[in-house]
């Protein structure tokens, strides 16, 4: 349904594009490339344990980002935006990150009403304020906002009302509400990869890899129970074809019955006292899948003083049915709250702070437990200062996942901290040079499964050139 | 009143009743300029590269203009009956030359004074043949650079 919607929308938008393509069409583009040092671990994008976009195999010249954005006005009140993201680390180098139609009637009694339909992300990030949802203050975004770009995109409709400044209001206020489809696997990456500060944006159809349990499981279980052979297919996660399938009352994986054909669900009868469903823990996420045909929603409230202070609160609930899976991906019920704040401090120093906390779980209830059940939270503080053509930014962040299911063979807990120091210089109106140091330090329990220390520090130095117009 | 880099330039005009104001659009983006002020309600979609007729302001009063697409754009047009009017420079000085020597009532307006829109006149006084007049107005907001952060709705 999601893919169909994009296609239809794209055709509609392109149709309008050609019909009125003269002065009412604007094209924006960006490309950022540069050098990176090698990460300590292999990047999750290569199936490793590394949290950074560029891992141990990625030293040298890299494409850091790129987009093409076409905006078109249909008269004064209607407008469309299509954004195409370029990322040579993903399976599809090119994909849509935005395809939407906006309706913007004139204010009524000092209130602005707006509507937005299509493919977009919830308005959480205060860091991605450059064109094309590019980062403005640093090269890599905070872990919190990176997740917004990785897992929260969806197809939806958003309605909003806000004050009209020209009507003389001293305060800015606004409310947004949206319903959306096509992001039931939200939470997959937070649980099985964890938080990651990066600038990767996922697009419909993308499959984002992370460390594969087929490499993980035998290591731990061969130590704990030498006679036990854990097959990838028998990892103990629910599977199905869109139907609800009950779990037996069991709190861990039992003796697996090796199935005839790896990769296929076991057709035989399950043993009593075991999970009656055997399945693959996927080693990749497909964030835009619709699995249960239930829409999710978010509501957000804004309050601020124009150009001085801005506060945004959001409640998000994808309302997914955690007992359904399709196409090797599970629906994860993911609910979170988010707070964002920005203000201008003395001496022209900008301050941004964001905090997010929530829960995600998957799998039918077994006793009181789900197959995977995590609490997550992330927060950061960013200071930024412009001096002429130079921008200096520093960010401190904290992010954690608490694993609340009792399934020790799949430890998803983590607790990490990060520093980012960034310097940018706008050399010409079109060219920007940036240098950045990024460090992430802390524990991720799953590292032990591949023979790494739980605790570890990853850091990277980046030097990039960004061209934009 | 032009639009450059999603700002009204200048963002304050003082004009006499009956004046016509052009709203060219120097940006590549569409601006949809509007006002709901009693003195002159209007709306004007300004497509890049097209000529638009000027707007005639035929009633005295304050006209606050906004852009329906860029929430942060606000401009002020003060429509006055007096032929003697001006805008202060960055030092806060306005100079009027060759004025007939008589009594004047001086009104002061600033968009950031936080006055209700009706209270256009402020700190008025009566002077006779004075060469310099100083009027102190309470500054409510300190200047902020607004360089560090992006403030538009993203």
Window 196-255 of A: residues touching B by CB (8 A cutoff) are none
Can you spell out the DSSP letters for A55-68? -TT--EEEEEEEEE
Residues present in chain A in total? 469
Contact list, A173 vs chain B (CB under 8 Å): none
What's A35's domain CATH number? 2.40.160.10
pLDDT of the residue at B143: 52
A47 contacts: CB under 8 Å, gap ≥ 6: A209, A210, A211, A212, A283
Please report whether residue A75 resides in a domain.
Answer: yes
Contact list, B35 vs chain A (CB under 8 Å): 166
Token pair listed for A466: 């960004």
Helix (H) or strand (E) holding B147: none
A444 contacts: CB under 8 Å, gap ≥ 6: A49, A51, A194, A413, A414, A416, A454, A456
Please report whether residue A270 resides in a domain.
Answer: no
A14 contacts: CB under 8 Å, gap ≥ 6: none
CB contact under 8 A, A166 and B34: yes
d(CA A249, CA A274): 8
CB contact under 8 A, B30 and A24: yes
Token pair listed for A178: 């949206």
Token pair listed for A213: 């349990």
pLDDT of the residue at A266: 42
pLDDT of the residue at A374: 96
Please write the tens of the pLDDT for every residue from B57-89: 999 988 999 999 988 888 999 998 888 888 888
Token pair listed for B105: 């009532």
- The b/e string for A368-388 (b: 16+ C-beta within 10 A; e otherwise) is ebbbbbbbbbbbbbbbbbbee
CB contact under 8 A, A165 and B35: no
Least confident of A370-374, A412-416, B45-49, B127-131: B127-131
Q: Identify the segments of chain A with pLDDT beneath 50.
A: 1-23, 215-235, 239-279
Please report whether residue B103 resides in a domain.
Answer: yes
Please report whether residue B83 resides in a domain.
Answer: yes
Contact list, A165 vs chain B (CB under 8 Å): 66, 71-72, 74
CB contact under 8 A, B150 and A136: yes
The sheet that has B61-67: what strands, in order across it?
B12-16, B74-80, B61-67, B31-35, B42-46
Pairing of strands B74-80, B12-16: parallel
Please report whether residue A225 resides in a domain.
Answer: no
Token pair listed for A179: 């319903």
- Residue A6 — φ and ψ, nearest 5°? -60, -45
CB contact under 8 A, A307 and B151: yes
Residue B141: pLDDT band (50, 70, 90) is low
Please report whether residue B145 resides in a domain.
Answer: no
pLDDT of the residue at A245: 41
Please report whether residue B144 resides in a domain.
Answer: no
Count of structural domains, chain B: 1
Chain B residues contacting A, CB < 8 Å?
Answer: 28-30, 32, 34-36, 43, 45, 47-50, 64-66, 68-69, 71-72, 74, 114, 116-117, 144-154
Count of structural domains, chain A: 1
Please report whether residue A217 resides in a domain.
Answer: no
pLDDT of the residue at A450: 80
Closest CA–CA distance from residue B3 to any residue of chain A (Å): 16
Contact list, B116 vs chain A (CB under 8 Å): 168
What's B85's domain CATH number? 2.60.40.420
A107 at interface of B, judged by CB pairs closer than 8 A:
yes
A64 CB-contact burial (10 Å; exposed 0-12 / middle 13-18 / buried 19+): buried
Closest CA–CA distance from residue A74 to any residue of chain B (Å): 10
pLDDT of the residue at A166: 84
pLDDT of the residue at A2: 40
CB contact under 8 A, B149 and A350: yes
d(CA A159, CA A62): 39
Helices H / strands E in chain B, number of each: 0, 11
pLDDT of the residue at A366: 74
CB-nearest partner of A344 from B50, B64, B148: B148
Please report whether residue A249 resides in a domain.
Answer: no
Please report whether residue A9 resides in a domain.
Answer: yes
Bond into B10 cis (ω within 30):
yes
Closest CA–CA distance from residue B42 to any residue of chain A (Å): 11
d(CA A315, CA A176): 11
A27 at interface of B, judged by CB pairs closer than 8 A:
no
Angle at A396 between CA A393 and CA A397, to 5 degrees: 130
Token pair listed for B113: 């004074």
Domain of A64, in residue numbers = 2-212+283-468
Closest CA–CA distance from residue B58 to any residue of chain A (Å): 20
Please report whether residue A29 resides in a domain.
Answer: yes
pLDDT of the residue at B127: 57
Q: What percent of chain B has pLDDT over 70?
A: 79
For residue A125, give the chain B residue with the closest CA: B154
d(CA A237, CA B74): 56
Q: What ipTM was assigned to the predicted interfaces of this complex? A: 0.80
Contact list, A136 vs chain B (CB under 8 Å): 150
Contact list, B31 vs chain A (CB under 8 Å): none
d(CA A99, CA A83): 6
Contact list, B151 vs chain A (CB under 8 Å): 306-307, 310
Contact list, B147 vs chain A (CB under 8 Å): 348, 386
Write a three-state SS string for A124-175. Answer: CCCCCCEHHHECCCCCCCCHHHHHHHHHCCEEEEEEEEEECHHHCCCCEEEE
d(CA A422, CA A173): 32
Domain of B53, in residue numbers = 2-128
CB-nearest partner of A166 from B29, B65, B69: B65
Half-sphere exposure of A6 (CA within 13 A, CB side): 22
Contact A156, A186 (CB under 8 A): no
Please report whether residue A162 resides in a domain.
Answer: yes
d(CA A342, CA A169): 20
């Amino acid at each position: 349904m999601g893919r169909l919607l994009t296609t239809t929308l794209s055709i509609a938008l392109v149709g309008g594009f050609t019909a009125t393509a003269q002065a009412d069409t604007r094209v924006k583009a960006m490309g950022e490339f540069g050098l990176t040092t090698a990460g300590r671990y292999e990047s999750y994008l290569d199936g490793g344990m590394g949290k950074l976009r560029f891992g141990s195999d990625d030293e040298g010249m890299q494409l850091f980002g790129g987009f093409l954005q076409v905006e078109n006005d249909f008269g004064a009140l209607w407008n469309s935006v299509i954004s195409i993201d370029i990322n040579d680390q993903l399976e599809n180098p090119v994909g849509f990150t935005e395809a939407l139609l906006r309706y913007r009637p004139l204010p009524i009694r000092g209130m602005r009403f707006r509507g937005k339909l299509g493919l977009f992300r919830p308005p959480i990030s205060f860091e991605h304020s450059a064109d094309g949802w590019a980062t403005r203050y640093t090269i890599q975004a905070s872990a919190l906002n990176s997740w917004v770009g990785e897992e929260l995109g969806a197809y939806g409709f958003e309605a909003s009302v806000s004050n009209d400044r020209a009507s003389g209001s001293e305060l800015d206020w606004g409310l947004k509400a949206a319903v959306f489809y096509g992001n039931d696997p939200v939470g997959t990456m937070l649980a099985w990869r964890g938080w990651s500060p990066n600038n990767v944006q996922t697009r419909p159809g993308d499959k984002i890899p992370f460390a594969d349990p087929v490499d993980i499981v035998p290591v731990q279980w061969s130590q704990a129970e030498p006679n036990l052979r854990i097959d990838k297919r028998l990892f103990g996660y629910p599977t199905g074809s869109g139907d609800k399938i009950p779990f037996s009352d069991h709190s861990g994986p039992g003796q697996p019955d090796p199935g005839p054909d790896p990769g296929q669900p076991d057709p035989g009868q399950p043993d009593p006292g075991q999970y009656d469903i055997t399945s693959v823990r996927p080693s990749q996420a497909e964030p835009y899948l619709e699995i249960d045909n239930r829409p999710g929603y978010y509501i957000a409230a804004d309050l601020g003083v124009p150009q001085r202070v801005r506060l945004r609160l959001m409640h998000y609930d994808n309302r997914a049915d955690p007992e359904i899976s399709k196409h090797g991906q599970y629906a994860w019920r993911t609910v979170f709250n988010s707070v964002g704040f920005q203000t201008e401090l003395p001496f022209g120093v900008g301050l941004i702070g964001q905090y997010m906390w929530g829960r995600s779980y998957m799998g039918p209830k077994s006793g009181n437990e789900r197959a995977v059940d995590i609490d997550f939270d992330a927060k950061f503080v960013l200071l930024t200062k412009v001096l002429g053509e130079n921008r200096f930014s520093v960010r401190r962040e904290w992010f954690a996942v608490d694993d609340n299911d009792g399934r020790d063979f799949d430890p998803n807990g983590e607790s990490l901290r990060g520093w980012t120091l960034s310097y940018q210089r706008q050399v010409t109106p079109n060219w920007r040079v940036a240098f950045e140091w990024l460090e992430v330090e802390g524990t991720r329990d799953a590292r032990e499964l591949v023979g790494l220390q739980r605790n570890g520090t990853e850091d990277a130095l980046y030097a990039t050139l960004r061209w934009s117009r | 009143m032009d639009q450059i880099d999603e700002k009204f330039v200048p963002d304050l005009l003082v004009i006499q009743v009956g004046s016509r104001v052009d709203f060219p659009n120097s940006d590549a983006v569409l601006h949809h300029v509007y006002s709901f002020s009693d003195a002159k309600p209007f709306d004007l979609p300004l497509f890049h590269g097209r000529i638009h007729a000027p707007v005639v302001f035929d009633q005295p009063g304050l006209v606050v203009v906004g852009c329906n697409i860029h929430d942060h754009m606000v401009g002020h047009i003060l429509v006055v009956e007096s032929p003697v009017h001006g805008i202060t420079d960055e030092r806060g000085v306005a100079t009027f030359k060759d004025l007939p020597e008589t009594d004047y009532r001086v009104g002061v307006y600033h968009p950031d004074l936080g006055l209700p829109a009706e209270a256009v006149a402020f700190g008025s006084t009566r002077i006779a043949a004075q060469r310099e007049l100083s009027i102190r107005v309470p500054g409510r907001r300190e200047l902020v650079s607004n360089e560090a952060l992006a403030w538009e709705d993203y």
